[in-house]
Amino acid sequence: MLAIRRSYDRILEVVAALLMAALTGIIVLGFVFRALGLSLVWYDEIASIGLCWLTYYGSALAALRGAHIGFPGIVNAFPPALRVASTIAAEIIVLAFFVILAVTGLEVLDILQGDTLVSIPSVSLVVTQSVIPITAVLFIIAELLRFPEVLAAARGAGFEDHELKEALETVQETASSTGGTSR
């Protein structure tokens, strides 16, 4: 299972990196052409769509890594039985949301049949909006792959507070680089 999760993480990471590189290229291209007085008619629309795609795919990667906003301190304060029950309930709610999003996204794609981008009429809105149901499924896969680890943390000592851990590491690095202790 760990090998599958690592491979899935790598795939999402590559997709997010490619989207970021493409978006950077589009923005630089748009800037250069505008500076030359030759504005690209499709630049704004494609850059906006690229940003949406990057956000959705990057969010699926964040879900797999457990990097979304959470409240580990609150959940960790629960007794173990309640911590497990609340973790399972939260997971069911998240999965239900993304199932609904995937189904609704597919319905939206059906409605958009025949519609195209304004600046590039040869590109269908179905292609640009397909990111919604696709990434909803990617979120579901990410949540299912992460669930055993989450459940084990709920049953064990609790969840790690990544923000607190990062803050403490920053304080330690600052203290060691200044040669003293930090208060």
Angle at which helices 43-65 and 2-35 cross, to 10°:
160
Q: How many CA atoms lie within 13 A of 31 on its CB side?
A: 6
Does position 182 have pLDDT exceeding 70, yes or no? no
For the chain, the structural domain boundaries read 2-178
Angle at which helices 43-65 and 131-155 cross, to 10°:
20
Say what the pLDDT of residue 162 is: 67
Q: What is the pTM of this model?
A: 0.83
pLDDT digits (tens, 9 = 90+) for 5-56: 999 999 999 999 999 999 999 999 999 999 999 989 999 999 999 999 999 9
Exposed, middle or buried: residue 57 (CB in 10 Å: 0-12, 13-18, 19+)? buried
pLDDT band at 169 (very low <50, low <70, confident <90, very high): confident
Say what the pLDDT of residue 110 is: 96
Is 60:138 a contact under the CB 8 Å cutoff?
A: yes
State which H helix or E strand residue 119 sits in. none
More confident position, 158 or 34: 34
The full length of the chain comes to: 183
Helix (H/G/I), strand (E/B), else coil: 116: strand
Does position 183 have pLDDT exceeding 90, yes or no? no
